[in-house]
Amino acid sequence: MAFVHVNFYSDTLKINTDISLIIPTPGPDDGEKADRRGRKLFRTLTMLHGTFGDHTDWARLTGIERLAQEYGIMVIMPSGANGFYRDMKRGKRYFTYITEELPSFVENIFPVLKGRENHYIGGLSMGGYGAVMAALKRPDIYGGALSFSGTLDLAAFRELCNQGIFPDPYFWDLIFDKNSDEADPAEVLTAARQLMGKGGMAPELYFTVGRQDPLYKSGLEVVREMKDMGFQVSFEEDDGAHEWDFWDRSLKGAFKWLDRVMKS
């Protein structure tokens, strides 16, 4: 197992940025999918952090490294600041970075399999929103998305911020434009309808949220509507709040699901 930290200049973000990667150790029977140099080629899971986080969160606060080794999946963990993984109105182009520059950078340097069926994206809270939007808008790149307590309903999230349940409502004004009403509060569902309307490749989706999470109710509604649209959605719930204990416990079931759908 290798744990790799990479700092590089992003032409999209116009800054030096960081990613961490977990690269499993190949087993004795893993040589069937290799490159010309005999290197084992891996399926990948890009995991996005939540607000106030960075590229180290998943590795420091969960057992994801053990699961990556068990299932033979390379995990890519970028930094996205507090930008909701959007191309911000007055800020960095995080969506373009996550969906274009980052996959290309990783593929050029590390031994990864090609094809959308071998590349999934996940995240928690803000990262859950970013992962689902990436899979819905770029199904040519990602075969599916995993959302851990994702911010899937922007209107509900904004109200929780205004109530002080989430730390600071400044995110809305920073990422969107506080002087306009451009933000679509049902953005995830709008992107889902647009994809289905085009008859495009629908990503596989895995949603999990704790019953004591402030985002539980709005998350259930999004899951219900996406199922009604015809998406293949796996949903898991358990006792838990918006906290690392729940996200860590959720990873085992998520990796089991991921391994199954990647191999199907």
How does pLDDT run across 18-50, given as a tens digit for each residue? 999 999 997 655 545 666 566 789 999 999 999
CA atoms within 13 A on the CB side of 100: 12
Packing angle, helices 154-162 and 216-229, rounded to 10: 170
CA distance 8 to 25: 24
- Residue 199: band (very low, low, confident or very high) from pLDDT cuts 50, 70, 90: confident
In this structure, are residues 79 and 123 in contact, taking their beta carbons and an 8 Å threshold?
no
Instruction: Give residue 183's pLDDT band: very low, low, confident or very high (50, 70, 90).
Output: low
* Tokens 């400044």, located at residue: 170
pLDDT at 174: 63
Look at residue 241 and tell me whether its pLDDT is greater than 50.
yes
What CATH number corresponds to the domain at position 181? 3.40.50.1820
How do residues 69-128 score in pLDDT, each as one tens digit? 999 999 999 999 988 898 887 789 999 999 999 999 999 999 999 999 999 999 999 999
Question: Per mean pLDDT, which range of 22-31, 140-149, 173-182, 227-236 is the poorest?
Answer: 173-182
The parent domain of residue 198 ranges over 2-263
Average pLDDT, the chain: 90
Q: How confident is the model at residue 171 (pLDDT cuts 50, 70, 90)?
A: low
- In angstroms, the CA 211 to CA 227 distance is 20
pTM, full prediction: 0.92
Total structural domains within the chain: 1
Mean pLDDT for the stretch of residues 257-264: 94
Residue whose C-alpha is closest to residue 106's, from 22, 201, 204: 22
Per-residue pLDDT, 180:
43
| pLDDT for the residue 131 | 98
**pLDDT single digits (tens) 132-168:** 999 999 999 999 999 999 989 887 777 777 777 665 6
Strands (E), the chain: 2-10, 15-23, 43-48, 73-78, 119-124, 144-148, 204-210, 233-238
Residue type (1 letter), 39 = R
Cβ neighbours for 146, distance < 8 A, ≥ 6 positions apart = 45, 120, 121, 122, 123, 128, 131, 205, 206, 207, 208, 254, 257, 258
- Tokens, residue 72: 């033979």
pLDDT band, very low/low/confident/very high, at 182 (cuts 50, 70, 90): low
Which pair of structure tokens corresponds to residue 150? Answer: 């994702």
Distance CA 252, CA 45 (A): 14
DSSP 8-state code for residue 41: P
Mean pLDDT computed over 228-240: 96
